[in-house]
């Protein structure tokens, strides 16, 4: 099935002017010529994540506890549409940075993050089918995902801003592996209890395939989320201040 997706994140990504700032106190700079540069970056990133997830207005990074996504649309021709409004994503405080590679020479970034449990809750409107499961209704959706491992890859370019170089991510993409997912939709088929229960059971019995259908939305969301943190930091802190030679 081919899906057209739309994910709108109102993250305060600094597109326009952003004031130059020093490294925030919770993020340690790593000199690019130190022999343990990779370990330094990982250590610094690991320590900073809990603070970054709580947001930092100065750096245009919003509070993500919870992360609120104003609108998600998933469409596949005339046969399938899913809309979720004000989707609340709970659980990002369980995010743990496992790997981080800042390949400055090749201008590539890689990060692996493990999130223990993510709970996605919001009002939905669905029409169509996933696999062979017919779905029609309007109610509350709950997608809970255990053990999400996300691999984020990105390139970056260096942009001149007021005489200093700043990194900017481009060409970013994410892939995910999930341990288990639970799905629940209230009020399917105008509240038909029996049909609703059968459908929810079918969705959960086939959670892996259902998650595959939702995968583009989830990976797109994670990509935008990581990008917004990166944009916030890179827009405000110069490349030299982040990775100066010591």
Ligand X SMILES: *[C@@H]1O[C@H](CO)[C@@H](O)[C@H](O)[C@H]1NC(C)=O
Binding-site ranges for ligand X (CB under 6 A): 119, 121, 142, 144, 182, 184
Q: 112 vs 198, which CB is nearer to ligand X?
A: 198
Q: 108 vs 184, which CB is nearer to ligand X?
A: 184
Q: 61 vs 214, which CB is nearer to ligand X?
A: 214
Q: 142 vs 149, which CB is nearer to ligand X?
A: 142
CB of 118 to ligand X, least distance (A): 10
Q: 119 vs 241, which CB is nearer to ligand X?
A: 119
CB of 143 to ligand X, least distance (A): 8
Distances (CA, A) of 125 to 83, 201, 205, 227: 5, 19, 22, 28
Give the burial string for 215-235 (b: 16+ CB within 10 Å, else e).
Answer: eebbbbbbbbbbbbbbbbbbb
DSSP class of residue 61 equals B
Q: What do you get for the CA distance between the two ends of the chain, in Å?
A: 53
CB of 184 to ligand X, least distance (A): 6
Q: Where would I find the beta strands (DSSP E) of the chain?
A: 4-8, 67-76, 80-90, 95-103, 108-130, 133-161, 164-185
DSSP string, 131-188: TTEEEEEEEEEEEEEEEEEEEEEEEEEEEEETTEEEEEEEEEEEEEEEEEEEEEESSB
CB of 117 to ligand X, least distance (A): 9
CB of 141 to ligand X, least distance (A): 9
CB of 212 to ligand X, least distance (A): 20
Contact yes or no for 88/120 (Cβ under 8 A): yes
Query: In the complex, which residue's CB is closest to ligand X?
Result: 142
Q: 69 vs 121, which CB is nearer to ligand X?
A: 121
């Amino acid at each position: 099935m081919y899906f057209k997706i739309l994910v709108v994140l109102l993250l305060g990504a600094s597109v326009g002017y952003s004031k130059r700032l020093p490294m925030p106190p919770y993020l340690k700079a790593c000199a690019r010529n130190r022999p343990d540069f990779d370990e330094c970056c990982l250590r610094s990133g690991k320590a900073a994540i809990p603070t970054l997830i709580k947001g930092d207005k100065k750096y245009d990074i919003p509070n993500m506890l919870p992360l609120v996504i104003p609108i998600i649309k998933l469409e596949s021709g005339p046969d399938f549409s899913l809309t979720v409004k004000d989707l609340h994503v709970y659980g990002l405080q369980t995010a743990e940075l496992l790997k981080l590679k800042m390949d400055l020479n090749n201008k590539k970034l890689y990060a692996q993050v493990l999130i223990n449990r993510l709970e996605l809750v919001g009002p939905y409107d669905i029409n169509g089918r996933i696999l062979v499961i017919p779905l029609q209704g309007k109610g509350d959706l709950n997608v809970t995902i255990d053990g999400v491992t996300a691999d984020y890859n990105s390139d970056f370019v260096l942009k001149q801003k007021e005489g200093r170089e700043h990194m900017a991510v481009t060409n970013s993409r994410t892939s995910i592996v999930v341990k288990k997912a639970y799905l629940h939709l209230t009020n399917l088929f105008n509240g038909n209890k029996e049909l609703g229960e059968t459908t929810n059971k079918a969705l959960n019995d086939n959670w892996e395939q259902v998650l595959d259908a939702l995968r583009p939305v989830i990976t797109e969301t994670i990509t935008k989320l990581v990008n917004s943190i990166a944009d916030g930091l890179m827009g405000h802190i110069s490349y030299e201040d982040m990775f100066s030679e010591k």
